[in-house]
Amino acid sequence: MLAMSASIMAGALYAASPADEAVDQPTPATATMDVEPEEVLDEYCSRCHNDFDLKANMSIEDLRSEDVHSGTNTELWEKILRQVGEGHMPPSSKPQPDPLVRASFVKWLGSSLDNYAAAHPDPGRATVRRLNRVEYANAVRDLLDLDVDFSRELPQDNSGFGFDNIADVLSVSPTLMERYVAVAGKVGRMATGLSSRRELVTSYQVPKDGSIRNSGVPAYNERASDLLPLGSRGGGAFEYYARYDGTYEISGWLNSNTNNETDRELDDRYSVRVPMKAGAHVVSMSFTRRTAPTETVQVLRNTTDYVPLPLDDPKMLDLAVWVDGKKAATIPVPSYRMHQRYSQQNFPRDVLQIDVAGPYDATGIADTPSRQRIFTCRPKRASQEEKCAKTILSSLARRAYRRPVTERDMGLLMKVYASEAAASDFEHGIEAAVEAILVSPHFLFLIEKDPAGAAPGSVHSLTDLELASRLSLFLWSSIPDEELLKTAETGRLKDPKVMDAQITRMLADPRADALTKNFAGQWLYLRNLDQQRPDIDVFPSFDTRLRQSMAAETEMFFAHVLQTNRPVLDFIAADYTFLNQRLADHYGIPGVKGTALRKVSLDPAWNRGGLLGQASILTVTSYGNHTSVVKRGKWVLENILAAPPPPPPADVPALKTEHDGQLLNAREQLEMHRKDPACASCHVKMDPLGFALENFDATGGWRTMDAGQPIDAGAVLPDGTQFSGIAGLRAILLDRKDEFARAFTERLMTYALARGVTATDMPQVRAIARDAAADDYRIQTIIRGIAASHAFTLRKTPDALGEPTSVADARIRR
């Protein structure tokens, strides 16, 4: 062992302030060590990481300590800092440095890298970023006050670094532009109310539920959606946009048999016509029954929306139609379906599909919120039309382009307007110009410019308007609202106090739900839950409503942490979660009634609390009929520790399910698999984390036996640390809470920057995580730190002037 003093002469951390001009600050003093760092590397690292062995594709032979003072080999030094600092290197089977030696080396290296980064801010390669389909739909909603989700009208976006908003993978193709043109036309007609009055049918497929077939209990005994009123049974609800004031026909298709097959006949269809105003509505259909007043009061007192069927077998049921939560009509239907094909058997009724057709008897164009947003002036004479058009289009373009409009902007839009207005009328001219705005590169892309004369490779601050666009896409997945835009236009957004106030306001806005849907939905793989297909023969109680409850628990849990500014450590261990009766029964937790999810305090004996005890996470990391130690361990490494294992070799062998004629359990299968050295290096990190979760089955239910054998949830980490079960794993992760805070910051920063986090970003990640740790690891402290970071507030001029910064930029310039 090297003898080394632990004393360190740490240089003062230099905090470089971004300026509008290029940033070029002197290098600060750095921390020093009593011996050369090369000696530490040579003693403990060089035997494996050299030009000949090249373990982990890494050689340190050319490293010199002065590299960290000049920004050389930063990526390699960052890898060393992470592996040595977190105790992963040297491997536990190799000689280890004295703890004081390790601490001294880690502090010197971390301080040196952080100091250099503070003096030489590097926001990374500049890119032109296209709005992804969710951001486009949200921007349309906020620009035109049109409460319709158009994201499904566009192709699914590619993903990179775990997210679908990454600039480098958001490519542009002729086919995609054709879709944008088509969607813009649909949006323009709907927003202005100039769409065709011909009758259209919109269909909603009620999520198919196997609970009738699996359990024998009619699915319609419980409320199927929180959008339905209390006392509802089965059915479904969906958002519908009525194009005109008029009458609309709402139809429900009921099942013909117990398996909910869709071979419907006309006598399975029940319809009613109801009036609706133009605009967004919630249309729903469900079964109800007449209850005495005392029964209704009792239902509400118990805060349950479960309404049992009458004791006497009813001949008829009431099929209710609801519009915006108000009962519009009631249709009596037979409570059972009798059909010759099914040998005169009786089958409980359920709603499989809801259709809305119309409009019928449409009246004139309604004054919808969208028309009010667009037509801010209304010319009374032809001579006033051009001036009014300029007023309307300049206001819309300013919001859409996220900046003041130029004469060139207005010239192009007025040309489109004038052409269509001459061929038709004023309103159709405005509608054509709205379509032009929605396909403009200034709307579709986040375009940031360099100052005139900026030198290649120089770094400068974003303008307030550019910063406003980044911030709104980060927190809302949408464009700035009027308040944020005005703040940026006055040049006040860079003021730290003003920025802090805007972030507070934006996080309190309902649009901040985008962080839950888009960031958490991808960080936690929640978007994959709909694709999970648990084997109903193995898990007969699994159904659509359980799946929906699983997703809702995790979404509400994340949103609660965000809105109440809880510590991110709640993601590891929390004494609460959000449950309804369906999910509570799945967990074996008593005392929760009804379909509405609510906050529930947890007993440690229930083994829930934190993300790793939630069924959504446990289900997406399993296979359809069994758990996966590897998938769960990999999920923890990637999403909790931001330390993903390398991809498996192309020829990796499959797990062997038996040996010498004996069936192998999961632990035995993986023990055999790890005998291959090529597999062992990754599995030794993943498998212990996955084994700790083996008490949860493939749908997140608790179990103590598997295949007739008691479950062994014990595990040993590569460093020899032993632990067991979910409680042991939580303790391990809480012991590494700073590592988790850095990992969470890294994932959120990737999403915020719309690019992968690089080695030059890591000093900022560490600084943000340190500030959060000093504030009890609160999530909003991390969000504010990212929004104030150099990576978020600065831009680097491309090294070669005129060189495209991305594929999208190249297409725009052409």
Which pLDDT does position 99 carry in this prediction?
Answer: 86
- Section 737-751 average pLDDT: 97
Q: Which residue blocks in 661-724 are alpha helix, DSSP H?
A: 666-673, 677-691
Which pLDDT does position 260 carry in this prediction?
Answer: 52
Does pLDDT of 808 surpass 60?
no
* Helix pair angle (407-423, 385-401), 10° resolution: 130
* 99-103, 238-242, 364-368: which is most confident: 238-242
Percent of the chain, pLDDT > 70?
81
CB 521, CB 494: distance < 8 Å = no
pLDDT greater at residue 807 or residue 143 = 143
Which pLDDT does position 433 carry in this prediction?
Answer: 98
Closest CA to 632 of 594, 670, 659, 658: 670
Which pLDDT does position 650 carry in this prediction?
Answer: 63
Rounded Cα–Cα distance for residues 662 and 672 (Å): 13
Where residue 479 falls among pLDDT bands split at 50, 70, 90? Answer: very high
Does pLDDT of 19 surpass 90?
no
Which phi and psi angles does 311 have, rounded to 5°?
-65, -40
Closest CA to 727 of 615, 606, 635: 606
SS3 549: helix
Q: How far is CA 616 from the centre of its chain?
A: 14
Which pLDDT does position 516 carry in this prediction?
Answer: 97
Beta bridge partners of 248: 274
Percent of the chain, pLDDT > 90?
60
Which pLDDT does position 6 carry in this prediction?
Answer: 31
CB 618, CB 693: distance < 8 Å = yes
Does pLDDT of 355 surpass 60?
yes
Does pLDDT of 18 surpass 70?
no
Ordered DSSP codes for 422-470: HHS-HHHHHHHHHHHHHTSHHHHEE---PPTTPPTT-EEEPPHHHHHHH
Which pLDDT does position 298 carry in this prediction?
Answer: 37
Task: Spell out the residues 6+ positions from residue 732 whose beta carbon is closer than 8 angstroms to its own.
Answer: 717, 721, 723
Closest CA to 609 of 573, 560, 582: 573
Q: What distances in angstroms separate CA 373 from CA 144, 329, 367, one per listed residue?
A: 6, 33, 10
Rounded Cα–Cα distance for residues 404 and 386 (Å): 20
Which pLDDT does position 407 carry in this prediction?
Answer: 97
Closest CA to 119 of 278, 212, 199, 11: 11
Rounded Cα–Cα distance for residues 369 and 371 (Å): 6
Closest CA to 717 of 679, 688, 749: 688
Q: Which stretch of 103-107, 115-119, 310-314, 552-556 has the lowest confidence by average pLDDT?
A: 310-314
Provide the whole-model pTM: 0.86
CA angle (287 as vertex; 286, 290 as ends), nearest 5: 135
Q: What distances in angstroms separate CA 586 from CA 566, 576, 592, 606, 615, one per listed residue?
A: 27, 16, 11, 12, 9
Does pLDDT of 12 surpass 90?
no
SS3 747: helix
206-231 per-position pLDDT tens digit? 876 544 333 333 444 566 677 787 77
SS3 201: strand
Does pLDDT of 20 surpass 70?
no
Q: How far is CA 412 from the centre of its chain?
A: 37
- Section 777-785 average pLDDT: 98
CB 586, CB 552: distance < 8 Å = no
Does pLDDT of 337 surpass 90?
no
Ordered DSSP codes for 266-324: GGGEEEEEEEE-SEEEEEEEEEE----HHHHHHHHHTT----PPPSS--SEEEEEEEET
Where residue 8 falls among pLDDT bands split at 50, 70, 90? Answer: very low
CB atoms within 10 A of CB 170: 26
- Section 26-44 average pLDDT: 65
3-state helix, strand, coil in the chain (%, to 5): 45, 15, 40
* Helix pair angle (779-788, 737-753), 10° resolution: 50
Instruction: Provide the token pair at 61.
Output: 């032979």
Where residue 38 falls among pLDDT bands split at 50, 70, 90? Answer: confident
Q: Which stretch of 33-37, 379-383, 530-534 has the lowest confidence by average pLDDT?
A: 33-37
Where residue 711 falls among pLDDT bands split at 50, 70, 90? Answer: very high
Closest CA to 162 of 787, 685, 757, 782: 757
Q: What distances in angstroms separate CA 364 from CA 197, 323, 367, 679, 738, one per listed residue?
A: 10, 21, 9, 70, 62
Which pLDDT does position 47 carry in this prediction?
Answer: 82
Which pLDDT does position 9 carry in this prediction?
Answer: 29
Which phi and psi angles does 204 have, rounded to 5°?
-125, 120
Q: Which stretch of 525-539, 578-592, 645-659 has the lowest confidence by average pLDDT?
A: 645-659
Does pLDDT of 360 surpass 70?
yes
CB 601, CB 590: distance < 8 Å = no
Average pLDDT, the chain: 84
SS3 348: strand
Q: What is the CA radius of gyration of the chain?
A: 30
Instruction: Provide the token pair at 5.
Output: 């003093």
Does pLDDT of 22 surpass 50?
no
Does pLDDT of 261 surpass 60?
no
- Section 670-698 average pLDDT: 76
pLDDT greater at residue 620 or residue 685 = 620
Task: Spell out the residues 6+ positions from residue 454 whose beta carbon is closer than 8 angstroms to its own.
Answer: 22, 460, 797
- Section 351-364 average pLDDT: 89
Q: Give per-residue burial for 193-219: e unless 16+ CB within 10 Å, then b.
A: bbbeeeeeeeebebeebbbbebeeebb
CB 790, CB 576: distance < 8 Å = no
Which phi and psi angles does 605 have, rounded to 5°?
-65, -15
Task: Spell out the residues 6+ positions from residue 395 whose beta carbon is closer than 8 angstroms to its own.
Answer: 376
